[in-house]
Amino acid sequence: MKFRCTVKERSLILNNNEQEKRSAGEKAVDFIKDGMTVGLGTGSTVYWLIQKLGKRVSEGLKVKCIPTSIHTERLAMNLEIPIVTFNEIDKIDIAIDGADEVDKDLNVIKGGGGALVREKIIAEFADQFIVIVDQKKLSEQLGKHFLPVEVTPFGWQATAKYIANLGCQVKLREEDEKIFVSDNDNYILDCYFEKIEDAAKLNEKIKMITGVVDTGLFIDMVDLCIVGKGSDTEIIKKQ
């Protein structure tokens, strides 16, 4: 028997979800200290982080932020959060970003918003990488969410076939009936696996394919995960 939500129940679920994103995003600001260079992630959870960070900056917090997307850069600039590029920094103290799925070992799938390459470059370079999520993103084993993979536009059809041979359905991402183009002028292939047995191995295999820029699998990169739980949060540290 199928369970159907009433409109009211559905809106309560959505609101709760948004509240959890907000709780996680706002809590993450506690980890940003005066003088830090901060990698700013992308997405609807990071939105809440940026709002609160903007407030702290207006109250006198001194930070430099490097955004993972043009969208985030605009949001931050509107709040007068100081923005820098890689030309102006030699380290990133902390990077904070959302995720589409997080497993018990804090391996994650990212890229639902198509920002995975810049996000990975910044997360890898940061001394500390924190992900912020609502409870729905937690999972025993990665694979509930499709896996975004950024590829070069040239020959994407061939790249897609090689990825499909690894055991998934591949869909070229579209937005408003047009091909979605990333901030790096590349395409995104959304890959639907029934199950991901070994995420690290899969990441390596996909990255070996010519034409792949990078995958949304962030393996062994997360130091800490902040999970929104209603208006509270739980902090999960890497074991």
Ligand X SMILES: O=C[C@H](O)[C@H](O)[C@H](O)COP(=O)(O)O
Which residues make up the interface to ligand X (CB under 6 A)? 41-45, 97-100, 110-116, 119
CB 121, min distance to ligand X, A: 13
Q: How far apart are CA 142 and CA 121, in angstroms?
A: 21
Q: Any catalytic annotation for residue 80?
A: no
Q: How far apart are CA 1 and CA 5, in angstroms?
A: 13
Q: Which is nearer to ligand X, 59 or 132 (CB)?
A: 132
Q: Which is nearer to ligand X, 210 or 221 (CB)?
A: 221
Catalytic residue among 18, 119, 177, 234: 119
Asked whether residue 44 is marked as a ligand-binding residue, the answer is yes
Q: Which of 67, 94, 71, 61 has the alpha carbon at shortest distance from 83?
A: 67
Asked whether residue 42 is marked as a ligand-binding residue, the answer is yes
What is the distance in angstroms between the CA of the first residue and the CA of the last residue of the chain? 40
CB 204, min distance to ligand X, A: 20
Q: How far apart are CA 195 and CA 10, in angstroms?
A: 28
Q: What pairs with residue 224 in β-bridges?
A: 130, 237
CB 1, min distance to ligand X, A: 30
Give CA torsion, residues 71, 73, 75, 78, to 10 deg.
-140
**Annotated binding-site positions:** 42-45, 97-100, 110-113, 137
- Annotated catalytic residues are 119
**Annotated binding-site positions for substrate:** 42-45, 97-100, 110-113, 137
